Chain A
Amino acid sequence: MPEMTLIEAIRQAMDEEMARDPEVFIVGEDVGKRGGVFRATMGLYDKYGEHRVIDSPLAELSIVGVGIGAALYGMRPICEIQFADYIFPAFNQIVGEAARMCYRSNGTWSVPLVIRAPYGGGISGGLYHSQSVEAFFAHVPGLKVVIPSNPYDAKGLLKSAIRDPNPVMFFEPKKGYRLIRGEVPEEEYLVPIGPAKISRFGRDVSIFAYGMMHYYALQAAELLAQEGIEAEVVDLRTLAPVDKTTILESVKRTGKALIVHEDNLTLGYGAEVAAIIAEHAFTDLDAPVRRLAGPDVPGVPFSPPLQEWFMPNPQKIADAARRLAQF
C-alpha cells in the first residue's frame, strides 16, 4: 500500500472525485495556477482547467455564497477557505444560508457543498493563522463537521463529504499536512461521515481527540504505555453528527475520560463530549471528566514560548491522562 502525506491524500480525494463527477469543481483563493497556498490543489488546474479549478476574488463570503448558488443549481462545489481564521466573513452564508436551506424549504432545496479549511496552531501563525473554529460550526444544526487525523481517513472522509447532499465543513489540521504520513489503498474506498474510531485500545483511561490532537494523543499513549498505563484513544473524526455510541462504549470500558482539543476550553467541543458522558455514563465513571484544551485567551500567540504555552502536546496530554489514570 502506498504511503503518503495528509495533504497528498486530500489532493487525491479531490482529483478522484473531479474525475468521477463533472459537477464537482473547486473554488477559492489561489487554488488555480498556484495550486493553493498549501498546495492542496496542486496539478488540478492543469488537469481540469480554469473552469473547474476557479481562482476567486479575495473575498471569503462570496467563495461560499457562489458555492451555495452553484450547489442550488445541482453542482458539487468544493470551497477552499485559505485559513480557517478567514472563514468568519462567510459565517452568515454558512450558518444563515447553507445550514438552513433544507430545513427552511421543508426539504425542497439542498446545498451539497464542501467547505475545506486548514485549521490549528503550532505553526508560528499567531492569532490569525492558527485558529480552531470547529465549535462555532458544530453548534449549528444542518451542518456536518469533519476533522481527519490521518491520510487514510482524510481521503475517505473527503470523498464522502463531496458526495454528501448536505453542507459539510471539512477542517484540516495544517500542522499535520506534511508531518502526518500513512498508508492509503490504491483501490477506491470511502470513510463514512459519522462514526468515530477507536484507534488504540486500552483499559485505564479514554482519550478523546481529533485532528492534530489525535496524532499527539497516540504519541501520549505510547509514553504512558512505557509507564504501564494503558490509554485508549478515540479519534472523533466527525464532530457533527457526534458518535455518542463509540464515546459511551469507550467510557464504559475505562471509566475515565480525557477530552483534548487545541481550541480554547470554554464552550469548546470538549464541553459537549463531557456533557454526553455526564448524561449517559455517569454511573460508569471512576473519575471526573477532564478536558485539556487551549487556554481561554483570544488566540494562539506568535512568540515561540508563548505558542508552546498555548498548544497541547504529547507531554501535556500524557500528564493529564496520567493524573486521571491515578485518580
Chain B
Amino acid sequence: MLSKETKLDMYWTMLLSRRLDERSWVLHRQGRIAFHISGIGQEAAQVGAAFALRRGYDWFLPYYRDIALMIALGYTPRDFALSMMGKAEDITSAGRQMPSHWSLRSANVPSQSATVATQTSHAAGIGLAIKLHGEDKVVLTCIGEGATSQGEWYEGVNWAAVHRLPVIFLVQNNQYAISERVERQMAVPGPAAKACGLGLDGREVDGTDVFQVYEVIAEAAEKARRGEGPSLIEAKLYRITPHSSDDDDRTYRSREEVEAYKKRDPLLIAQAILEKEGILTPKKLDEMEAKAKQIVDEAVEYAEKAAYPSVEDAATHVFVEEVSHA
C-alpha cells in the first residue's frame, strides 16, 4: 500500500517533469534550444514504473520520451537544461549527445543512442549478468510501440524469455510512430499480444493512471526477483504533443482527436484521485506549482550561463584510456 507521502511524491514528479517539458517547448519556440522531444501524456507510465522499482539498485534502460522516468531516478531539471543546451556540465554526455539520450551512472542508467530498440538486447544482457551473479536486481527497459516492430526488439525479448531473465519490458503505446498509427505497425491489437509468441507474460495497463501502472510493474518486479522471468507490460496512453520539435502533427491527426485525449491527461487523473482521497489540497497544489516553476526557472537560468564544452576535449574518451593487465 502506497503511503500518502509516496503518492504525493509521485504526483510531484509527474508535475515537475510536465512543467520542465512544457518549458522546453517554449525554449525551442524562442530559439533558445535546438531540439526537444516530449514525454507529455506519458508521465504516469514512467513515474508509476520508476516508483515500483528499487531506484539506485535496479537497472533502467529508458527511451527518449522518458523524461519523467529520469526525473524520478534523480536526473534533475538542471541536468536536463544543461543537456538541452549542449553545455559542458551535461552529465549524460558533456554535450556530445542530443537531449533525451539518457545516461545516469548513479541510477544504473546506461547511455542510450537514438537508434530505436537497441537497448532491448542490452536489457537482456544486464538481466543475464544479474542472473549469473545470483542477485535479485531487476531491469526495466522502456520503448514506444512503434519500435516493437524492430528485429532488435524481438531478439532482445526472446533472449530474456528463453533464459527467464529478470527484465520488465515496458511498452508505452502512445498510438503513434511519428505519424503512423499503431495499425500500421502490427496486425495484433497491441504490443502486449506479442508476448504470447515470445513466451512471456504480457499485460495491458491503463498508462494514464500512475497508481495502476505502479501496481502492475511492482507485481512484475516481484516475479522477476523470485526468478520467475520477464514480463511485457503495455501501458496504453496517448502522445499529446507532436513527435518532436521538428514535427507538425496537424498533417496526420485531427485537433479533435488530440483534444479528446487531453481529457485523459495523466496529470489531471492523478490530481483527481489525490483530491478525492484528500491527499492533495488546492493549497498544496499551488505550492507545488510554484516550486516547480522556481526549479525550472533556476535550471534554465543556470544552464544558459553555463560554459560550452571545450573543443580541446572533443576527441577524448574515444577509448577507455587505461588498460589493466593485472
Contacts and interface: CB of A to CB of B under 8 A. Distances in A.
A165 interface: yes
Contacts of A163: 323-325
B156 interface: yes
Nearest to A113: B125
Question: Which of A54, A56, A69 is the most central at the interface, judged by chain B CB atoms within 10 Å of its CB?
Answer: A69
A104 B101 contact: yes
Interface string A220-250: 0000000000000000000000000000000
A70 interface: yes
B100 interface: no
Question: Which of A25, A52, A165 is the most central at the interface, judged by chain B CB atoms within 10 Å of its CB?
Answer: A165
A103 interface: yes
A67 interface: yes
Contacts of A77: 125
Contacts of B151: 61, 89
Given A57-B162, A107-B320, A165-B324, A72 B125 contact: yes
Interface in B73-118: 92-94, 96-97, 101, 103, 105, 110-111, 113, 115, 118
Question: Which of A52, A64, A106 is the most central at the interface, judged by chain B CB atoms within 10 Å of its CB?
Answer: A106
A74 interface: yes
Interface residues of B, number: 42
A15 B120 CA distance: 30
Nearest to B88: A106
B210 interface: no
Interface in A42-61: 51-52, 54, 56-57, 59, 61
A62 B118 contact: no
A66 B103 contact: no
A73 B123 CA distance: 10
B129 interface: yes
Interface string B138-162: 0000000000000110011011001
Contacts of A315: none
Contacts of B264: none
Contacts of A71: 125
B317 A75 contact: no
Question: Which of A25, A57, A110 is the most central at the interface, judged by chain B CB atoms within 10 Å of its CB?
Answer: A57
Nearest to B155: A62
A131 B37 CA distance: 41
Interface string B285-326: 000000000000000000000000000000011111011110
A80 B324 CA distance: 23
B320 A75 contact: no
A66 B318 contact: no
Contacts of A166: 319-320
Given A57-B159, A105-B92, A141-B318, A66 B121 contact: yes
A70 B105 contact: no
Contacts of B324: 163, 165
Nearest to A107: B317
A325 interface: no
B156 A105 contact: no
B128 interface: yes
Contact of A59 (B94, B111, B158, B322): B158
B320 A96 contact: no
B94 A69 contact: no
Given A70-B126, A109-B110, A59 B155 contact: yes
A70 B163 CA distance: 14
Contacts of B130: 73
B35 to A, nearest CB: 16
B323 A104 contact: no
Given A25-B132, A164-B323, A108 B96 contact: no
Given A65-B121, A65-B155, A104 B129 contact: no
B97 A74 contact: no
A69 B93 contact: no
A72 B113 CA distance: 14
B97 A104 contact: yes
Given A59-B155, A105-B111, A141-B318, A69 B105 contact: no
A12 interface: no
B124 interface: yes
B56 to A, nearest CB: 15
A62 B132 contact: no
Question: Which of A54, A107, A141, A164 is the most central at the interface, judged by chain B CB atoms within 10 Å of its CB?
Answer: A107
Nearest to B109: A109
Given A68-B121, A109-B110, 16 more contacts: A59-B155, A65-B120, A66-B122, A69-B126, A73-B126, A73-B130, A92-B118, A97-B113, A97-B118, A103-B317, A104-B103, A106-B96, A107-B317, A107-B320, A163-B325, A166-B320
Interface of B: 59, 92-94, 96-97, 101, 103, 105, 110-111, 113, 115, 118, 120-130, 132, 151-152, 155-156, 158-159, 162, 316-320, 322-325
13 contacts: A57-B155, A62-B156, A65-B118, A66-B122, A66-B124, A66-B125, A66-B159, A69-B125, A97-B118, A104-B111, A108-B111, A110-B320, A160-B325
